[in-house]
Amino acid sequence: MQESWFNRKLWIVLRGDVAVGFLIMTTNAILNLGSEMSMTSARENRWWDAVVARDTGHDGEFFFAVSSTGVYCRPSCPAKRPRRENVTFFRSPVEAEKAGFRACLRCRPRSADHNPQAGSVKRICRYIEQHLDEPVTLAKLGTVFGQSPFHLQRTFKNALGITPREYADSCRMNLLKRNLQAGQSVTHALYEAGYSSSSRLYERTASQLGMTPDKYRRGAIAAVIRYTCTDSPLGRMLVAATEKGICAIQFADTDDELTEGLKREFPFAQRKRDDDSMRSWTKTLLSRIAGHKLNRALPLDIQATAFQRRVWTHLQTLPFGSTESYGQVAKAIGQPGAARAVARACAANPVAVAIPCHRVVREDGEMGGYHWGVGRKQTLLRLEQQHAQAAAAER
Ligand SMILES: [Zn+2]
């Protein structure tokens, strides 16, 4: 049985959300009863609509608790909708917890996403993106956002897994790559991406790109990418490679979607369909998808930020058929608190299956998202787990 405080005069005792009794403090309250009840129910109806619609616009405004599970959520929670009669609404996580509910592990109603702190991290990101052409120091950010530089850095790193400076660097790098791939001159591309001000930055760029910007530009335009499309247990699969290794593994329902996807990713490369030369890699991948453990590593040719590289390298150590949560991966790479950044790095994995981002699931054991669709993730894990169990039974 839960109690909910409606005003100073009246307690309404609820079971689920059905009023089972009133504790009236003054006779006055009886007169107010009708209007209190209808106002409350109008608001709750609105809130319930928001829950049904998983409306992110109401996140932070209220929380809903589910009596059958003992869990409370934010309105946009992706979990299955509860029955209306099991739902109680609260204004804050604290109230929900006082009433005996636990925070949901999927939507993390207490997490940073919808509190003022996360808002401030987002604003800092936007600020950095708009000031790429000037050195953005912690002191400067502190002044602009009215926070101590130490506090600002810690909150930022907690939310994104990188420092504001690393964020600025990665924004510049992405912009530079895009400009170079679009065929801009090196000088212009560097200038546009905010690298104009110092030669030190230019040198750092070369080391981050792994080559000089000039060479990168020529490479991006002249690169030859061979690809093939084939059937797989996950639908049509595209495997594409440069001369150095596999650069894309994608899934879709049709070949048209696949070639469009490849074009979006490598707009200036020459893309050539070449089934023969891709055959042995495709075979290896297909048998991996079918659940066969293979020790043979596939050569990869992919770009990654430092953070993505850490996540992806860790994923490749996950045993066949096993899963880890986003939070566990974050901890394993020494950045607890960067679970969301881990999820983003998984979503950005350009080579599905080869880097097994499908082995990362939500904290509560639910699937979590997958760039190529949750159904494909489920199929992959099921095949792997079947084979892992069969192998264990043989031993
Ligand atoms: Zn939830």
Active site residue 73: yes
Amino acid at 98: K
Active site residue 171: no
Q: Residue 353's closest CA among 246, 254, 225?
A: 246
**Would the pLDDT of 226 be above 90?**
yes
Higher pLDDT, 94 or 275: 275
Helices (H), 237-351: 255-265, 275-289, 306-315, 326-332, 339-347
Give the pLDDT mean for 179-185.
73
If one counts every other C-beta atom within 10 angstroms of the C-beta of residue 329, the result is 25
Strand order in the sheet with 63-66: 87-90, 63-66, 71-73, 102-103
- Would you call 193 helix, strand, or coil by DSSP? coil
* pLDDT tens per residue, range 295-306: 567 888 887 767
* pLDDT tens per residue, range 138-168: 999 999 888 899 989 988 887 777 789 888 8
How far apart (Å, rounded) are the C-alpha atoms in residues 395 and 390?
A: 9
**Lowest pLDDT segment from 144-153, 243-252, 272-281, 285-294:** 285-294
Q: What is the mean pLDDT of the chain?
A: 79
Our measurement of the distance from residue 163's CA atom to the centroid of its chain's CA atoms, rounded to an integer in Å, reads 18
pLDDT at residue number 94: 82
Place of tokens 């996360």: 118
* pLDDT tens per residue, range 103-134: 888 888 877 444 556 677 888 888 888 787 77
Between the CA of 164 and the centroid of ligand 1 the distance, in Å, is 30
**Would the pLDDT of 37 be above 70?**
no
Between the CA of 79 and the centroid of ligand 1 the distance, in Å, is 6
Considering the candidates 77, 247, 346, 357, report the single residue annotated as catalytic: 357
Q: Residue 350's closest CA among 388, 324, 322, 315?
A: 315
Q: Assess contact for 74 and 93: CB atoms under 8 A.
A: no
- Would you call 90 helix, strand, or coil by DSSP? strand
**Would the pLDDT of 197 be above 60?**
no
Considering the candidates 73, 77, 104, 247, report the single residue annotated as catalytic: 73
Contacts of 188 (CB under 8 A, 6+ apart): 179
* pLDDT tens per residue, range 69-109: 999 999 888 888 999 999 999 988 888 888 889 988 888 88
Give the pLDDT mean for 349-377.
89
Between the CA of 80 and the centroid of ligand 1 the distance, in Å, is 9
Between the CA of 97 and the centroid of ligand 1 the distance, in Å, is 14
Place of tokens 């030190």: 200
- Rg, the chain, Cα only: 26
Q: Residue 225's closest CA among 282, 276, 271?
A: 271
Between the CA of 361 and the centroid of ligand 1 the distance, in Å, is 15
**Domains present along the chain, CATH in parentheses:** 2-109 (3.40.10.10), 114-220 (1.10.10.60), 225-285 (3.30.160.70), 306-394 (1.10.10.10)
